[in-house]
Amino acid sequence: MNTNSPKETTKLINEIKGIISLSRENAIRKVDSERTMMYWKIGQRIFEEEQAGKDRADYGKYIIKLLAEKLQPEFGNGFSIRQLERYRQFYRVFPIASAVRTQLNWTQYKLLLSIENEDKRTFYIAESVKNNWSSRQMERQINSHLFERLLMSNDKESVLAIAHKEQKPKEGKEIIKDPMILEFLGLKQESSYYEQELESAIISHLQDFLLELGNGFSFVARQKRIHIEGDDFFIDLVFYNRILKCFVIIEIKTEKLTHLHLGQLQMYVNYFDRVEKFEDENKTIGILLCADKNDAVVKFSLPENSENIIASKYQLYLPTEKQLLSELENELNSFMKKLL
């Protein structure tokens, strides 16, 4: 009788485990897809019934209360007054059945229903589908106000076009956020940190950091050593962006930005452009990730119309929408002054 070797047996077991896991995942997705469409259809029927009785005051509240009394004892808390109101809202926000994306689950739709602005909502739908975000990742991006942060340096039309794959980003500013939100590092905002500590925390949470960086980034090196005529220098972090087709260098400064920091980063960018990059690749982008910055210092430290050096503040906490809208308003006022 032929017997398989331990190596072959292990391979067989792993393959069968893979089949089981994939089948379970597909089953869960199918169940969630059916559940999502069930909620949509319930919301549709409630809305249609409301419209039929629109001549009666508070008929909508009455019908939802009646349905909850009849359905909740039999089918559970998923049919409470609050949940039935949510299903109605689901239909009203997404009235076309074919527009309900099967790539999104019900938890993600609940997050989207909390967004009133339609442009903002379509942005998160497009980005979630494109990047295959989990519910947790979508929630994090909404809570960190990704849409508003991209608007700090881009117009709404280009942000939406890139999200919908209608155009590709051409410059670093189109995908690099300012500020960068690093709440996932678990560090206290009021504490002082060495650059090495912040760098180590980023490496320990690399997957979350890549999510914050955005589309197309892959990790290349930490403390990349470069040798220039007998002198050694070490670049904090090196990434590559396959959309922009260029290296992206990140230097971390846990203090306020100075012109010397920008000069150091410019040297690293020049080195990569002249030594590391291939002819068919685009120019290297340098990001100075700093605790604070003076935009005027950045402006006068760099050549006019510089696109390859970007200074971005980091925050160790999630900002409020009010804070970001205030910053966005300041950016707009600054831009208008330049035009006058």
Selected residue with higher pLDDT from 272 and 168: 272
Same domain for 180 and 55, yes or no, is no
Domain of 227 in residue numbering reads as 173-339
Same domain for 87 and 200, yes or no, is no
Q: Is residue 147 part of a domain?
A: no
Same domain for 233 and 86, yes or no, is no
pLDDT value at position 337? Answer: 58
pLDDT value at position 328? Answer: 66
Same domain for 199 and 281, yes or no, is yes
Pick the closest to residue 214 from 313, 325, 131 (CA basis): 131
Same domain for 179 and 89, yes or no, is no
Same domain for 94 and 200, yes or no, is no
Contact 174, 158 (CB under 8 A): yes
CA distance 105 to 62: 29
Same domain for 184 and 270, yes or no, is yes
pLDDT value at position 250? Answer: 97
pLDDT value at position 65? Answer: 94
Mean pLDDT of all residues in 242-257? 95
Look at residues 72, 100, 128 and tell me which one is the last residue of a structural domain. 100
Q: Is residue 168 part of a domain?
A: no
The percent of residues above 90 in pLDDT, for the chain, comes to 65
pLDDT value at position 96? Answer: 92
Does the pLDDT of residue 57 top 90, yes or no?
no
pLDDT band at 75 (very low <50, low <70, confident <90, very high): very high
Q: Helix 135-143 crosses helix 206-213 at what angle (to 10 degrees)?
A: 60
Same domain for 95 and 209, yes or no, is no
Return the H-helix or E-strand segment holding 44: helix 6-52
pLDDT band at 9 (very low <50, low <70, confident <90, very high): confident
Look at residues 58, 79, 100 and tell me which one is the last residue of a structural domain. 100
CA distance 215 to 128: 11
Same domain for 88 and 191, yes or no, is no
> Among 23-27, 113-117, 180-184, 207-211, which stretch is predicted with the lowest mean pLDDT?
23-27
Look at residues 57, 72, 100 and tell me which one is the last residue of a structural domain. 100
Q: Provide the domain count of the chain.
A: 2
Q: Is residue 256 part of a domain?
A: yes
Same domain for 85 and 201, yes or no, is no
Q: Is residue 93 part of a domain?
A: yes
Find residue 209's DSSP bridge partners.
Answer: none
The percent of residues above 70 in pLDDT, for the chain, comes to 94
Does the pLDDT of residue 339 top 60, yes or no?
no
Same domain for 191 and 333, yes or no, is yes
Contact 170, 209 (CB under 8 A): no
Q: Is residue 198 part of a domain?
A: yes
Mean pLDDT of all residues in 45-54? 84
Mean pLDDT of all residues in 112-119? 95
Same domain for 178 and 324, yes or no, is yes
Mean pLDDT of all residues in 88-99? 93
Q: Is residue 40 part of a domain?
A: yes
CA distance 326 to 334: 12
Q: If you ran DSSP here, which 8-state letter would residue 220 be given? A: E
Average model confidence (pLDDT) for the chain?
90
Residue pLDDT, tens place only, 179-211: 999 999 998 877 788 899 999 999 999 999 999
pLDDT value at position 279? Answer: 93
Q: Is residue 207 part of a domain?
A: yes
pLDDT value at position 302? Answer: 87
Residue pLDDT, tens place only, 206-217: 999 999 999 999
Mean pLDDT of all residues in 117-132? 94
The CATH number of residue 208's host domain is 3.40.1350.10
Q: Is residue 164 part of a domain?
A: no
